[in-house]
Amino acid sequence: MSAPTAPRVLIRTAAAPADKESAIREAAQLLVAAGCIDPAYEGSMLRREGVANTYLGHGVVIPHGMVDDRALVRESGLAVLQVPAGVAWHDGQDAHLVVAIAAQSDTHITILRRLTRLIQDEARLARLRTTQDPAEIAAALSEDAPAPGVAGPAADLPHAFTWTVDYPTGLHARPASAWVEAARGGSARIQVRHGAEVADAKTLIALLQLGLRAGDEVVISAEGEDAPAALARLKATVTGLSAGEKAAAARAAEAVAKAAAPVAGWNLADPCRIVSGIGASPGLAIGPVHVLGPTDVAVPDEPEPLTSGGDRLHAALESTGAQLKALADDTGRRLGQADAGIFKAQAELIADTDLITLACQLMVEGHGVAYAWHQAVERMAGQLSALGNPVLAARAADLRDVGRRVLAQIDPALRSGHALPDAPCILLAPDLAPSDTAGLDPARVLGLATAQGGPTSHTAILARTLGIPSVVAAGANLLALPAGTTAILDGTTGRLYLDPSEGDLAAARHWRDRLRATQEEEARERGLPARTRDGHAVAIGANVNTPDQVPFALSQGAEGVGLMRTEFLFLERGDTPGEDDQYATYRAMLEALEGRPLIVRALDIGGDKQVPHLALPKEENPFLGVRGARLLLRRPDLMEPQLRALYRAAKDCVPAGAPTGKDAPLSIMFPMITSVPEVTALRAACERIRTEIGAPEVPLGIMIEVPAAAIQADALAAHCDFFSIGTNDLTQYALAIDRQNTELAPEADSLHPAVLRLVRMTCEGAARHGRYVGVCGGIAGDPFGAGLLAGLGVHELSMTPRDLPAVKARLRAATLADLEALAIDACAQPDAASVRALDGKAGETAEARS
């Protein structure tokens, strides 16, 4: 009997199956006859085709059974059908080598690794398609010879340490990108060896191709001048990530367990068609289905000179990097840092040297830039999927997602996207890219079901964050459903009920209404003003950048928008929006808010928000350079169209007699102010443009983000209508901690007493001139922080929408007197940890008094 790592190889040359299904059955029968599988495994292999595309690339396909049916495999084996004439497989692709896999334990990964190498050797593959010698095919599938560029020498470098992978889900893209970042921090050469496989620690895809799983032992070694220090740095990163990885895996398992737990709430009485998948985001959705077609675009091969092609690829990669950064930033602010990490990891994928090298090789061979890029992405993604590890298969989806973005930058005609119907629907899709999912509007997408994917994919994580009930891995039949079919999607049990009877619809509605009633009870609370028990009201706004995000913010209890970051208009597009485009956005924003207050922040470019297409001079310390208001004052070509667009929106949308002050429907504020002359210059520009347009006056405010502005708040208050404290930047500048420095991130706490004292000074300065003060930095969304800020004298808090309910509840449960006492206490503490320790005590005091 063969050992699991040396599967039996059964070969049939010159096969001519009529179609895909016959090919699978024929290969399965070879395995049955050899005693490798139970006959029932044949059905499992056919089922797998319904949920996954087993086309590996270059005419090689790998049918195999479902994971849950592994018990039907008696002995590892491969059945290879050589089909010289080809058999249609998937999406117009023909299979010439059908490699049916029956694998026990990890045999699968060994076989796939051999196959992925084989498909890089096109000449050999071409021979295998027609050879009449089965031994030639068997030899190709039994060798472990490394493919060029995939594996290096198996010797370790002079400085080394050994580590056993203890990340529960193995080395996936997020930790791997942290390794790459640490390895790139120095000039030493660093490699990671697992058995005979070696990867350069500075390239992400090479690391991922090692397919490291929990329990694997690796040797990480380095050579070069700073090798010992570089290795120590990498070791700290590698081991430092363990705790977080374990916690993330536990959270994912909990989410999946919750999603998989059946609901006791409603039951199906009448038979109807049911499509089963895996529950990925709990909840019930009822509505018509809408099927999204594939987004594949035909990428033409249009050769061009290497120099201009290289430049175009470079520019496209740069602007995609900036787009991803913006997306990570926006997702971080809307949905949280964990979700933002998805896009940070995607940015690492496109920076991968192997990927770029491959694209360049193809261009050198004479292919066009778009074609070369597309091929490189497809090949790399194919290799990642082929490793047989579901986590890496999900990263292949990420690579394709990000690859699409670059393609759209190379040639806007290659932009692929989805159009949604106007009426709310349940969305059905083959799979959805994370960036498409992040952009879904829960008001229009009632539920989501995908043919492929898994409950821990980024798409599922984002759907849960957005609260969209979802089912994944529901099979390809899903996509054949006629548009408009009424369905009930149960994201808890992972089922989609089609054409349900009136009785079942009523039962499902009843259950959904009960869920809704509970949520509405919470929503009623969210809708109440943030008024403390002793009657002090704090205004509550949301940080929202686009009109389509407004309804969700309002549903969470926002009373307006306290911060609209306009740089995203520039970052997302990859070019500078004109005055008319900006006007349309501001107007749509005002309309969405229906008279509620909107504070638009003028462009805050610089620091962490770089815009490549503006080609601004490179600075050594961009956080201390020409950013925010400093840039606006130097670049009237950027500032004036924005102010014109804003005043035109004010003229057209702000009715006569609208409130002024804190409740004004539109206010403008300027970022990164450090001095009075900046404010007077900006005010003068506003006044000139306002008069030219004939627009009404709007409150003009400034952000307090630099200690100088907080200290001089009284002087600044004389020249502006309001302040909004940007605690994210105020903390970085007060504590001298770069807000992007991950190592110092735990110390960059906005509750540091020094920051709180600056907030207090700002409020005191504003009070001297009767100005109101808001806070729109992250700490405003922390319930304890929000209470402290109110106690320090802040009038308005603006935050990411999903933080609103908890903040409102906390403020409503407190008294201003308590919060003021707490604020005095906090400012007197020695450090942030002691301030945070007051949290529990404040609760005790409040309880004792009530």
Catalytic residue numbers, as ranges: 64, 172, 458, 776
Between 211 and 726, CB nearer to Mg ion: 726
What is the rounded CA–CA span in Å between residue 658 and residue 800? 26
**Token pair for 157:** 């470098």
| CA atoms of 353 and 351, how far apart (whole Å) | 6
Please name the residues in contact with 795: beta carbons below 8 A apart, sequence gap of 6 or more. 538, 539, 662, 772, 773, 774
Query: Cβ of residue 732: shortest distance to Mg ion, in angstroms?
Result: 9
Binding of residue 606 to ligand PEP (CB under 6 A): no
Does residue 541 bind ligand PEP (CB under 6 A)? no
Nearest residue (CB) to ligand PEP, 453 versus 606 = 606
Q: What is the CA radius of gyration of the chain?
A: 30
Q: In whole angstroms, how close is the CB of 726 to Mg ion at the nearest point?
A: 4
| Token reading at 736 | 């001298």
Q: Give the number of residues in contact with ligand PEP, rule: CB under 6 A.
A: 10
Q: At its nearest, how many Å lie between Mg ion and the CB of residue 769?
A: 23
- The mark string for 158-197 relative to ligand PEP (x by CB under 6 A, - otherwise) is ----------------------------------------
The answer to whether 581 touches 816, Cβ cutoff 8 Å, is no
> 329 is in the binding site of which of ligand PEP, Mg ion, none (Cβ under 5 to 8 A by kind)?
none
Smallest gap from residue 729 Cβ to ligand PEP (A): 3
| Residue from 348, 549, 561, 528 nearest 441 by CA | 549
Determine the interface stretch with ligand PEP among 59-67, 266-274, 533-541, 723-731 (rule: CB under 6 A): 723-731
Q: For tokens 């802040």, what's the residue?
A: 794
Under the criterion CB under 6 A, does residue 409 sit at the interface with ligand PEP?
A: no
Give 746-805 as a DSSP string: GG--TTSHHHHHHHHHHHHHHHHTT-EEEE-SGGGGSHHHHHHHHHHT--EEEE-GGGHH
Element containing residue 138 per DSSP (H, E): helix 134-142
Q: Which residues is 156 bridged to in the sheet?
A: none
Q: Which stretch binds ligand PEP (CB under 6 A): 86-94, 190-198, 587-595, 720-728?
A: 720-728
Interaction residues for ligand PEP, span 566-605 (CB under 6 A): 604
d(C-alpha 173, C-alpha 380), whole Å? 14
Return the number of the residue (167 or 772) whose C-beta is nearest ligand PEP: 772
Q: Which residues contact 62 (CB under 8 A, 6 or more apart)?
A: 54, 56, 99, 100, 101, 112, 115, 386
* CB of residue 96 to ligand PEP, shortest distance in Å: 54
Cβ proximity to ligand PEP, 604 vs 749, nearer residue: 604
Q: How far is CA 725 from the centre of its chain?
A: 28
Q: By CB under 6 A, which span of 110-118, 275-283, 423-431, 727-735 interacts with ligand PEP?
A: 727-735
Residue 796 site contact among Mg ion, ligand PEP, none (CB < 5 to 8 Å, cut-off depends on kind): none
CB of 391 to ligand PEP, least distance (A): 32
Residue 436 interacts with which of Mg ion, ligand PEP, none, CB < 5 to 8 Å by class? none
Question: Is the Cβ–Cβ distance between 787 and 819 less than 8 Å?
Answer: yes
> Is residue 331 a contact point for ligand PEP (CB under 6 A)?
no
Q: Which of Mg ion, ligand PEP, none does 721 bind, CB closer than 5 to 8 A by kind?
A: none
Quick check: 777 binds ligand PEP (CB under 6 A)? yes
Residue 545 near ligand PEP by CB under 6 A: no
Residue 766's binding partner, choosing from ligand PEP, Mg ion, none, with beta-carbon cut-off 5 to 8 A by kind?
Answer: none
CB 457 within 8 A of CB 394: yes
Looking at beta carbons only, is 319 or 731 nearer to Mg ion? 731
For the CB of residue 601, give the shortest distance to Mg ion in the complex, in Å: 9
Answer whether 754's CB lies under 8 Å from 831's CB. no
Asked if residues 286 and 509 have their Cβ atoms less than 8 Å apart, the reply is yes
The answer to whether 110 and 137 have CB atoms below 8 angstroms apart is: no
- Find the shortest distance in angstroms from Cβ 52 to Mg ion: 45
User: What residue spans of 213-297 are helical by DSSP H?
Assistant: 227-240, 242-260
Length of the chain: 850
Closer CB to Mg ion, residue 404 or residue 630?
630
Task: Pick the stretch among 169-177, 346-354, 509-517, 721-729 that binds ligand PEP (CB under 6 A).
Answer: 721-729
By a kind-dependent CB cut-off of 5 to 8 A, residue 777 interacts, out of ligand PEP, Mg ion, none, with: ligand PEP
Nearer to Mg ion, 489 or 713 (CB): 713
Using alpha carbons, list the distances in angstroms from residue 452 to 46, 280, 431.
15, 12, 5
Q: For ligand PEP, which is the closer residue by CB, 496 or 725? A: 725
The region of 99-107, 476-484, 631-639, 724-732 touching ligand PEP under the rule CB under 6 A is 724-732
Selected binder of ligand PEP within 435, 452, 727, 800 (CB under 6 A): 727
As measured in angstroms, the least distance from the Cβ of 728 to Mg ion is 5
Please report, as ranges, the residues that interact with Mg ion according to CB under 5 A. 705, 726, 729
Q: Which is nearer to ligand PEP, 186 or 774 (CB)?
A: 774
Among 389, 452, 728, 762, binds ligand PEP (CB under 6 A): 728
- Please state, as a whole number, how many other Cβ atoms lie within 10 Å of the Cβ of residue 824: 12
Beta carbons of 437 and 463 less than 8 angstroms apart: yes
Answer with the entry of ligand PEP, Mg ion, none that 565 interacts with (C-beta below 5 to 8 A by kind): ligand PEP
CB atoms within 10 A of CB 501: 14
Q: What is the DSSP string of 616-683?
A: PPP-SSGGGSS-THHHHHH-HHHHHHHHHHHHHHHHHHS-TT---GGG-SEEEEESS---HHHHHHHH
Answer yes or no whether residue 729 interacts with ligand PEP by CB under 6 A.
yes
Contact between 726 and ligand PEP per CB under 6 A:
yes
558 binds, among ligand PEP, Mg ion, none (CB under 5 to 8 A by kind): none
Rounded Cα gap, residues 461 and 425, in angstroms: 20
Contact partner, 177, from Mg ion, ligand PEP, none, Cβ < 5-8 Å per class: none
Helix 353-364 × helix 306-335 angle, to 10°: 150
Q: Which amino acid is at 418?
A: H
User: Least Å distance between CB 566 and ligand PEP?
Assistant: 10
List strands edge to edge, sheet with 217-223: 159-164, 217-223, 189-194, 197-200
Binds ligand PEP (CB under 6 A): choice among 776, 794, 816, 823 = 776
Under the binding rule (CB under 6 A), the answer on residue 565 touching ligand PEP is: yes
**In the range 683-712, which residues lie near ligand PEP by CB under 6 A?**
705
Q: How far is the CB of 633 from ligand PEP (least distance, A)?
A: 18
Residues that bind ligand PEP (CB under 6 A): 563, 565, 604, 705, 726-729, 776-777
